[in-house]
Amino acid sequence: MDTVLPPATEGALRSSWLASSIEAYVEWLESRHAAGSTITRRIPHLVRFGDFARERGAERTADLVAYIDAFVEWRVASAGRERSAVRQVTYERELRAPLEQMLLALGYVTPAAPPPEPSFGGLAVGFFDSLREERGLRPTTVALYRSHLAALEGHLAEGDIALESLTPADIDSAVQWWAGRMALASLGSACSALRHLLRWLFREGRLPRDLSGCVGKPQVYRLADIPRSIPWEEVQRTLEGIDRHTVTGKRDFAMLLLMVLYGLRAREVAALTLDDIDWRAETLHVSQRKCGHSTRYPLSATAGSALLAYLRARPKTDSRQVFIQACSPFRPANHGVVSSRARQHLRRAGVEVYRPGSHTLRHSCAQRLLEADFSLKVIGDYLGHRVPSSTEIYTKVAIESLREVALGNGEEVLCPGR
Which residues participate in catalysis according to the annotation? 265, 290, 359, 362, 385, 394
- Which of 191-215 are b and which e, b meaning 16 or more Cβ less than 10 Å from the residue's Cβ? bbbbbbbbbbbeeeebbeeebbebb
H-helix or E-strand spanning residue 291: none
Cα separation, 243 vs 249, in Å, equals: 5
Could you list the beta-strand ranges (E) of 124-176.
Answer: none
- C-alpha 217 chain-centroid distance: 26
Question: Which is nearest to 330 in space by CA: 69, 34, 120, 38?
Answer: 34
Which DSSP helix (H) or strand (E) runs through 83? none
Q: Helix H segments across 180-231?
A: 184-203
| Closest alpha carbon to 272 in 280, 412, 257, 281 | 257
Angle (CA) 394-396-401 rounded to 5° is 110
Residue type, 362: R
Contact by Cβ (8 Å): 280, 356: no
Please report which residue ranges of 241-318 form alpha helices under DSSP H.
Answer: 247-262, 266-270, 301-313
Q: Are 83 and 91 in contact (CB under 8 A)?
A: yes
- Computed on alpha carbons and rounded to an integer, the radius of gyration of the chain in Å comes to 26
